[in-house]
Amino acid sequence: MNTTTLTAGDAAPDFSGIAVGAEFAEGKPFRLCDYFDEQIVRNSNQQGHTRGCTAQPCKLRDAWADFGSRANISGISTDSPESHRAFIELNSLPFPLISDTEKRIVRAYGVWMEEPEGGKGDPFRTERTTFVIAPEGRIKTILRKVDPYTHDRLLLEALYS
């Protein structure tokens, strides 16, 4: 089970990882604190190339114009940089994906689940969660267990509130 429970107002745990896509091209280091001068959206997905985890970033892609310059958006999962590159290319995503193969980031944010909810399914997984981080590095909003088909609208509401 996850042991970290972050709430709105908490300092966002800093992290670094390899990001691919958008300005990171084929893969460059990403460090969260380098973006603390702007609003940040850090979106955790369970695994690329699955139905829900494909729908969610594609809905963000389709609503990209609505987001304007409201936030620096990136996705994160435990998939490899190579898997992220293929996923970005296949789905024409306009934002980067960050690889967390060692699960340090998902654990720091409390979204790595050591056991399945209800005792069924994959014993290890990432909870589908989005963190909106305010410019000073504090968590503004947390969207937990989001529906991948309505996530884009919930995120827009959070960004404009």
For the record, the structure tokens of 12 come out as 């966002």
In the residue annotation, 53 being an active-site residue is answered as yes
Rounded to whole angstroms, the Cα distance separating 18 from 95 reads: 14
**Residue 13 per-residue DSSP state:** P
Catalytic residue among 32, 53, 97, 158: 53
Q: Provide the pairing of β-strand 112-113 with 97-99.
A: unpaired
Rounded to whole angstroms, the Cα distance separating 161 from 8 reads: 14
Rounded to whole angstroms, the Cα distance separating 113 from 100 reads: 14
Active-site annotation, residues: 53
